[in-house]
Structure formats: structure tokens, C-alpha cells
Amino acid sequence: MDVVVILNGLGNQMSQFAFYMQKKQLDNSTKIIHNCRAHNGFELLDIFDISICNTISQKILLIIFHLLISTGTGFVNKIIKAFFKIFNISVIFESDYKFNERFLSSMGGIRFYYGGWHCEKYFVQNRSELINRFDFKKINDQTNNKYIEKIDKTNSVSVHVRRGDYLVGVNADFFGNVCTLKYYEKAFEIIESKVSSPHYYIFSDDIEWVRKNIIRNNVTYIDCNRGIDSWKDMYLMTRCAHHIVSNSTFSWWGAWLNTNSGNITICPFRFTKDDIETQVYPDNWYRVYEY
């Protein structure tokens, strides 16, 4: 039996759920559990009405998962780990963001799939179904509805600038210094060579920094959606005609869910700071190398 673990923020949860859907089609015994403690918790339920039944078996699976990933070195912990090994219970860690076809197949025993699974090859076959499942609930506030009206009437380009946790600690070491100001400058050049009179809609977790450092003509800075309402930024992104994404699953899904024909999406050539190549971005997106 395979068990897909849902964790982290909204973009990650969407990739993991998409991966689960594909595995479920291939093996109906596949299960799903969530371990969402960061950001805004388990967001799939509130935003897309995707529920995970909290059955006794799933509670047991979650306990087993926590025991498997615990770093304790005591005698009891060693006995538990030995027991799991005998009964072929283990965690499959995603060591990189490259597509590995064997992860879609069951390998026997009980395997917990712990990773991002952001490469679209894991789920692109279900694109139509995913677009239906990731159908945002209707926005009913006046401010965002005005943005939507404006987005729909312009050659709209979403621009995502992620700072926040990408500036400190482990995330800075892993994801930092990928989407530099030079990246955005080059991305703007590409858009303006292909799109007539683009209007930029800029989304960020540090919008004041963006206002001071990314200045364009025809720009709207979106600053009304925070905390539990941050998903509305992703929805607004999906309504834009074109996209400049950061190395973040949040804007990745904002662009991927776009159903406009002929849309142009610009992305960095790296997803993590040390990438030499990446399979995270779809092949038809324009990669920026010069930065």
C-alpha cells in the first residue's frame, strides 16, 4: 500500500494531491494523509472542498509516519524501526525534483511518499480533471472583483515575487538568489517582445520591497490578500493572460491552471539555487538563463 503525505503550503499541497490522484488511478489501494502544521494548515478543504477522511486507519498511518521520520536514537526507537523494516514499512523521500517513473508504481509493503512531486510528468495526464478539482470558490469581495474586471480587460501578466522565508535559514540556502532583479528585468524584456501593451499584476509576500525595487509602466501591485486569504492571489494569477513565475509552487500553479490559449509563461532555469537543470517547469515555458 502506498500513502501520499500532504504537507507545507498551498502550492505544495496541490502538487502532492495531484501526485496522489495519479497514483490512485494506477493503484486503488493508495491512501492519503495530511501533516499540515505550517502556513495556513490544510488548505485544500477550505479552498477546493477536497477532504481527507480522518478515519482510524488514517490516524494509525499518521502515527506510523511520525515514528518513521523521528530522529530519536533510544532503544525503543531502534526496536520500532527494526519492526518496520521486517514488515517492509518505509518512507520514500524525494531527493530531487526530477521525474522518477517508478514512484508511480507500488513497490510492495507500506510506503509513505514524502516530497513535493512538482514535476508535471507525475500528473499531467489528469490535467483536465485537476483543473476541475482545483476550481476556486467564488470571490465575493469588492476589491478583488475590481482586480478581476481589470485583469480580464487588459493584456494581463501576473508577476510573482517571493521573499519572506526565502531570505532566511534553510530556505535561503536552498531557494534563495534564484529569482534576482536581473531575472525579472529579463523576463519583462521577453514579455514586452511578445505581448502588446502588457499590464503587470505583481503579487508578493513583501509588496513594499517590490514597490521600491520593481517599477514598471502599467503595473498594479496586489496587496489585499494575506493570511488565510492568500489563496485569492493564486486565483487572480490564473485569470491573467500571461505569467512571470518565481521558483515557488504558488505561482507555478497560478500559471499551470491558466486555460487561456496562447499564454506565455516565463520561469527561471533553476528551481533551487544549486540546480544545474530542473524538470519542475513545463517544457513549453520560457526559461531565463541570463542572470
CATH number of the domain within which 270 lies: 3.40.50
- Whether residues 112 and 151 share a domain: the answer is no
Q: Cβ distance 164 to 205 under 8 Å?
A: yes
Residues in the chain, how many? 291
Instruction: Write the single-letter amino acid at 16.
Output: Q
Which of these three, 128, 153, 178, is where a domain ends? 128
The dihedrals phi and psi of 279, each to the nearest 5 degrees, come to: -110, 10
pLDDT for residue 157? 98
- Whether residues 85 and 205 share a domain: the answer is no
What whole-number distance in Å separates Cα of residue 123 and Cα of residue 160?
24
Residue 49, domain member (yes or no) = yes
Residue 186, domain member (yes or no) = yes
Q: Cβ distance 198 to 191 under 8 Å?
A: yes
Which of these three, 96, 128, 160, is where a domain ends? 128
- Whether residues 59 and 158 share a domain: the answer is no
pLDDT for residue 138? 84
- Whether residues 184 and 250 share a domain: the answer is yes
What whole-number distance in Å separates Cα of residue 99 and Cα of residue 122?
7
- Whether residues 146 and 249 share a domain: the answer is yes
Give the domain range for residue 162.
Answer: 139-288
Distance of CA 96 to the CA centre of its chain: 15
Q: Cβ distance 143 to 224 under 8 Å?
A: yes
Splitting the chain (291 residues) into consecutive groups of 10 residues, what average pLDDT does each group show?
94 97 95 81 92 86 91 76 87 93 91 96 96 92 95 97 93 93 97 97 97 94 94 97 98 96 94 92 93 71
Residue 96, domain member (yes or no) = yes
Question: For the chain, how many structural domains are there in total?
Answer: 2
What whole-number distance in Å separates Cα of residue 233 and Cα of residue 223?
9
- Whether residues 147 and 284 share a domain: the answer is yes
What whole-number distance in Å separates Cα of residue 129 and Cα of residue 108?
28
Residue 133, domain member (yes or no) = no
- Whether residues 99 and 172 share a domain: the answer is no
- Whether residues 273 and 164 share a domain: the answer is yes
- Whether residues 143 and 284 share a domain: the answer is yes
Residue 104, domain member (yes or no) = yes
- Whether residues 13 and 121 share a domain: the answer is yes
Which of these three, 83, 105, 128, is where a domain ends? 128
- Whether residues 203 and 253 share a domain: the answer is yes
Residue 214, domain member (yes or no) = yes
Residue 221, domain member (yes or no) = yes
Residue 134, domain member (yes or no) = no
Burial of 222 (0-12, 13-18, 19+ CB in 10 A): buried
pLDDT for residue 38? 66
- Whether residues 124 and 75 share a domain: the answer is yes
pLDDT for residue 278? 92
**Three cell numbers, residue 53:** 477522511
Q: Cβ distance 245 to 252 under 8 Å?
A: yes
